[in-house]
């Protein structure tokens, strides 16, 4: 007699089978969805398009309100009529007063690690696990764990493990061992070339510039330096300028120009946020300078050996100021040194038009921050600076560049050239550690971070390479460019034209 299964048992088995099948389908659908969203994010990131724009077809609003309740409470208690208190910038932490009897620091030696000097072309074998933030990452297979963790590095190698373009970042790449000042879009891949061409044609800011340098004439380094000195005036917003003079919060703006208050310094460092700063060991050399400039949300904690500890000036764009993710109003990262904010303006706009058409709410954030930190010097860069600098880039390139403002990197470099005798820029031109890793403190890979997409970064690097007073070996080994301060050389009227 055969064994019979009751109808109720058959229903239970059938129900379990259906539940398992649905669970498998759900897992498969979620996997496909995650992969699709990852590809969408990568595509939007490289084209500087918010993911929400691509999905919903509308521009996402930036929520600029602080998360912490304590910050909101402090804002309410500060009052609308809070007055700023001037503090001597030279008394702030991280600023070394100039001593005319002290010579410039010696910067000819390579940074040592454990008493040894890295040979050219040899990558460090030390693995970087600072980026591991996944509590259950040990449950995942190795390749998936590295992908989610974003480290993008194979164990025991210093080269990028992620999607590296060998034509640009390989050992025999088009970029070469040292940046070539003749770089152009012709050397870019099809994808990145199309992105650059799209920005060249977009002209969001209404740029109209015919140029003044004769076509085909390549200016020398000293001629370029004189053009910058004569035609790029680093100025900041003061309360006597309209429309700010008519605003109730104008007293919160510094009454003097930044360049008249800060400096002069003998030796300065401009620390980029490039991924190639990882494992560089440049921290001690960076701290040896009299003044150090950093950018946006670039952190120090955990990266001291590579980027140093000193902060004299932090240049931040309005997007960082407005983004809730960067916690501009509540993070202690921005409390060291002097803050300088900037926001793109239409090419031919006056201050009134810019005030009413900022890309991000820089002035609202400025007021909130000043009420929270009334003793910290905080300047806003005049928008004409970015377009004066853009004109110098376009005027000295043989092809059209993106009609967007220069990067914070070049703006910060010119700012420090206005208050320093010698400026050393680190990893603006990539060293032997060149990588597609965008920032040393993040885990996102894209060649656009080195070659430019929104900003005319490719052409900015060409300009800096022409003006470099240091050696190619300094660039290759250290990623260090040496530029003179504007006060250290004289220009005849013919030199700047």
CB 230 within 8 A of CB 388: no
Closest by CA to 426, choosing from 316, 302, 277, is: 277
Task: Report the pLDDT value the prediction gives residue 189, as an integer from 0 to 100.
Answer: 82
CB neighbours of residue 376 within 10 Å: 19
Residue 112: what are its φ and ψ, rounded to 5°? -95, 150
The 10 Å CB-count burial string (b at 16+, else e) for 297-336 is bbebeebeebbbbbbbbbbbbbebbbbeebbbbbeebbeb
Structural domains of the chain sorted by starting position, each given as residue range(s) with its CATH number in brackets: 25-60 (no CATH), 74-105+164-488 (3.90.1480.20)
Angle formed at CA 345 by CA 235 and CA 343, multiple of 5 degrees: 65
Mean pLDDT per segment of 10 residues, for the chain of length 497 residues? 55 74 87 83 50 42 35 38 40 39 35 32 33 45 49 35 55 72 84 86 88 71 92 96 94 94 94 95 96 96 96 96 93 94 94 94 96 95 96 92 94 97 96 91 88 91 95 94 93 62
pLDDT recorded at residue 24: 87
Name the DSSP class of 274.
Answer: B
DSSP notation for 32-84: HHHHHHHHHHHHHHHTT--HHHHHHSSPPPP----S-HHHHHHHHHH-TTPPP
CA–CA separation, 482 and 12 (whole Å):
77
Residue 298 token pair:
């670039």
**Buried residues in 88-106 as b, exposed as e (16+ CB within 10 A):** ebeebebbbebeeeeeeee
Neighbours of 167 (CB within 10 A): 14
pLDDT at 112: 36
CA dihedral of 238, 241, 244, 250, whole degrees rounded to 10: 40
Tokens 């400039």: give the residue: 293
Coil/strand/helix, residue 267 = strand
């Amino acid at each position: 007699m055969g064994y019979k299964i009751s109808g109720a048992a058959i229903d239970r088995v059938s129900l379990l089978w259906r539940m398992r099948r649905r669970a498998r389908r759900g897992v498969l659908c979620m996997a496909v969805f995650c992969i699709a969203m990852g590809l969408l994010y990568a595509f939007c990131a490289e084209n500087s398009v918010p993911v929400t724009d691509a999905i919903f077809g509308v521009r996402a609003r930036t929520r600029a309100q602080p998360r912490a309740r304590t910050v909101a409470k402090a804002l309410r208690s500060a009052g609308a009529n809070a007055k700023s208190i001037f503090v001597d910038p030279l008394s702030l932490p991280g600023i070394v007063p100039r001593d005319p009897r002290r010579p410039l620091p010696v910067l000819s030696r390579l940074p040592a690690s454990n008493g040894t000097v890295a040979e050219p072309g040899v990558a460090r074998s030390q693995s970087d696990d600072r980026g591991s933030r996944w509590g259950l990452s040990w449950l995942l297979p190795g390749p998936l764990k590295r992908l989610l963790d974003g480290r993008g590095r194979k164990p025991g190698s210093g080269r990028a493990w992620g999607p590296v373009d060998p034509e640009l970042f390989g050992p025999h790449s088009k970029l070469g061992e040292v940046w070539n000042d003749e770089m152009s879009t012709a050397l870019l891949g099809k994808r990145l070339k199309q992105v650059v061409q799209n920005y060249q044609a977009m002209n969001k800011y209404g740029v109209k510039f015919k140029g003044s340098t004769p076509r085909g004439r390549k200016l020398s380094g000293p001629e370029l330096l004189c053009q910058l000195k004569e035609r790029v005036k680093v100025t900041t917003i003061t309360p006597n300028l309209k429309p700010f003079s008519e605003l109730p919060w104008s007293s919160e703006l510094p009454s003097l120009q930044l360049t008249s208050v800060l400096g002069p310094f003998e030796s300065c460092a401009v620390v980029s946020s490039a991924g190639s700063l990882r494992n560089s060991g440049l921290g001690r050399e960076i701290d040896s300078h009299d003044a150090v400039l950093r950018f946006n949300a670039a952190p120090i904690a955990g990266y001291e050996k590579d980027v140093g500890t000193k902060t004299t000036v932090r240049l931040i764009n309005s997007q960082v100021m407005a983004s809730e993710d960067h916690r501009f109003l509540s993070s202690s990262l921005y409390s060291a040194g002097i803050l300088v904010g900037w926001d793109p303006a239409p090419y031919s706009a006056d201050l009134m038009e810019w005030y009413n058409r900022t890309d991000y709410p820089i002035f609202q954030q400025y007021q909130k921050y000043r009420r929270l930190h009334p003793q910290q010097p905080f300047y806003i860069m005049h928008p004409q600076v970015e377009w004066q600098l853009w004109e110098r880039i376009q005027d000295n390139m043989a092809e059209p560049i993106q009609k967007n403002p220069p990067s914070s990197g070049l703006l910060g470099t010119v700012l420090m050239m206005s208050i320093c005798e010698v400026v050393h820029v680190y990893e603006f031109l990539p060293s032997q550690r060149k990588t597609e890793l965008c920032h040393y403190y993040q885990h996102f890979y894209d060649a656009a971070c080195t070659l430019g997409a929104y900003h005319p970064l490719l052409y900015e690097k060409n300009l800096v390479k022409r003006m470099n007073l240091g050696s190619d070996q300094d660039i290759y080994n250290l990623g260090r460019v040496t530029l003179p301060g504007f006060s250290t050389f004289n220009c005849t009227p013919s030199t700047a034209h």
